Every structure is written in structure tokens, then in C-alpha cells.
Amino acid sequence: MKSAILKDGKIQITEKDKPELTHDKKGAVVKITGCGLCGSDIVKINHATKENENKIVLGHEITGIIEDINVNIIGNGEKIPFKKGDKIAMGHHYPCFKCKMCLLGHHSMCETFKSSNIYPAGFGEYIYINENHLKYTVFKKPDNLTEEEFSFLEPLSCCIRAIRRACVDFEHDNSIFNALVIGLGSIGLLTAQALKAFKVNTFGFDINYERQNFAKENFNIDFNENLKYDLIFMTSGSYKALYDVYKFAQKGAVIIVFSSISNDKDGYLNNEIYYNELTVMGSYSPSPNDLLMSKKLLETGLVKTKNFSTNYNLYEIEKAIKDTKEGKILKGYIKL
């Protein structure tokens, strides 16, 4: 089978053995139909070394079809067991639920979470997923969503995680909060829509006029420079955006760091945090409950992802990366 690997700093399409189930190897084999290009994929490629590139898994925002399965498992929020032919999307990590990190609510810091992954990679024709993936991270595609739309299951769940980190609960009245999303790429737009679904007064800012206009026209997400914001979500990935925070932060605001930047030389200002009692916290990756909420928001249309993706074939990954870096597209989707 064909699968994308990183070798000598470049993506190569190589032949690998198709994963197969055995008596001692429980789980499912999934035929990949497509995989979203995540910003973290690009970061991994940019920071790869000859020593670690063979350990890098490229692609995790997958959609696919269960081709083979040898376990009887009812998934997270499902009513009937998975079977051959089920169309699915999934998260690629699961926690142990038992360690200190899990008990404190930091599921993505769990060692089991960090070590679990799909095999061999999302940018390929087939993957193997184990029983725990099926229990906690795999979801059947709703009939009202296309594969491309449902491929946002995992990235949207990351956004939901960030919102919950800010102590915003879906069941509560959150109209007291004014939230600002800085950076209106695909993650920023998902975050802004999810905030609106959580009934937060939501605004967004991007230095790219086209993206600012796209957010306003399609999702009624505007920017008010005269407001001070209680919640600020940093999704831009640009260190220059750090300096915008203090202009917009209300005293006592919560700032969610929801992207990596190119270096750690620039950071948040100690005295601004101290004198204004700002809370700065990171949000990394979702729990199974966030994945379940993600499916609900997509299925009910509270978060829309239609026309977010631009399709590429497996041999066009480099072009998808280039177009993403240059801001030509919102999201690359590698269609198998």
C-alpha cells in the first residue's frame, strides 16, 4: 500500500505492508478516504531531523471506511457496535483515565495518550487502529455530512478543549463573556463557531482582510476594536500577535495559548499579567468527551465546515503544504 513518509527532510510516497488483523492483533483496519493537513504536520516537517524523522507520523485528521474488524465494540456515544463498511472519522490518541494527569483533567499530558497513535500514518491508504481507539476516539459519519466536513472532527475537538479550558461550559449561560479569537484560519474559524455554539459573545481578528471578511460574511464573526475581552484565544501562530493581547484584554481576562510559534524568544509580559490579574494557559489536544461534543456540533450544524477544504491527491502533499504556508487555502484535504 502507498503511504507518505518523511525522508531527508522531504515527503516521499513509499510502499508499505498493508496492516492486517490476527488472533493476537485486535482492532480494525481502516481504508483511508481522506486526511486533513494539520498545522502540526507542517511543524513536524519543519523541525524534523535525520535522527527523528523516521518516528514522525504524518496525517491524523482522517476519514475512512472500516474494511476489517475482529472485535465487538460500541464506540463513544454510539448505540450499536462498529462493523465492516462503517464510514468513520477519529481522534488519534486516547488517555489511560487513571494516571495523575488524567485525574486532574490533563488527558493530553497522559503518557498513554502521548504514546498511542494510528499506524502507520493518516497520509496513506490503510491504517490499523486498536480496541481503545474504537472505544474512545472513533465516530461514525452522520449522513448529513460529507467526508470533508466530517474530517474536522478532531481539529474541532481541540477547539472545544480550549474553550473548556477557559472554564466555559456548554450547559451554562455564557452571555456574560466577550471572547476574541486572534487568527481566523481554519482553527480560528472553528473556535469562533464553537464559542458561538457555547453562547459566548464572539468576535474575531485577522490581519488578513480576506479572512476577516470571510468570517464576517459566512459566520457573522466581526471585530470590535473598542471592546475589552474576557476570553482571548490565540490561534494565529505568529509571535507578533502576542503584542495585540494587551490592547484587547479585559482586567482578569483568560488568555488561551492555542498555537505554537516559531521561537520562544518572545513571550507574555510578566507585569501585564501581574497588574491586570490575567490568566495565561495552554490548550493542546482533546479528551474523548471533547471528540463526542465535536461530533454533536458538526452533526447539528452548530459548527459548519462546508467549503473549508481544498482537495489534493496523495502526490500533491508538498503543494498542499506550500499553499497553506502562503495562505492560499484555509485547509488542505488529502483525498485518497
Residue 192's domain is classified under what CATH number?
3.40.50.720
Verify that 146 and 195 share a domain, yes or no: no
pLDDT at residue number 15: 95
In whole angstroms, what is the distance from residue 203 CA to residue 180 CA?
5
Whether residue 142 is found in the same domain as residue 28: yes
Of 75, 80, 101, nearest to 90 by C-alpha is 75
Q: Is residue 92 part of a domain?
A: yes
**Domain assignment of residue 47, given as a range:** 2-152+305-335
pLDDT of 130 reads: 97
* Band of pLDDT at residue 29, cut at 50, 70 and 90: very high
- At 139 the pLDDT is 98
- Is the pLDDT at 8 greater than 90, yes or no? no
Q: What is the pLDDT of residue 94?
A: 97
Identify whether 289 is part of a domain.
no
**Amino acid identity of 39?**
G
Total number of domains in the chain: 2
| Residue 14 maps to a domain | yes
Residue 55 shares a structural domain with residue 188: no
Is 146 a member of any domain? yes
Q: Would residue 327 count as lying in a domain?
A: yes
pLDDT at 25: 95
Residues 80 and 193 in one domain: no
The percent helix, strand, coil of the chain (3-state, each to 5) is 30, 25, 45
Please state, as a whole number, how many other Cβ atoms lie within 10 Å of the Cβ of residue 80: 9
Q: Are residues 54 and 182 both part of a single domain?
A: no
Whether the predicted pLDDT of 244 surpasses 90: no
Residue 284 has pLDDT above 80, yes or no: yes
Taking residues 196-225, what's their average pLDDT? 95
* Residue 292 belongs to some domain of the structure: no
Q: How far apart are CA 42 and CA 58, in angstroms?
A: 9
How far is the C-alpha of 209 from the C-alpha of 41, rounded, in Å? Answer: 26
pLDDT of residue 329: 95
Whether the per-residue pLDDT at 241 is higher than 90: the answer is: no
pLDDT value of position 170: 83
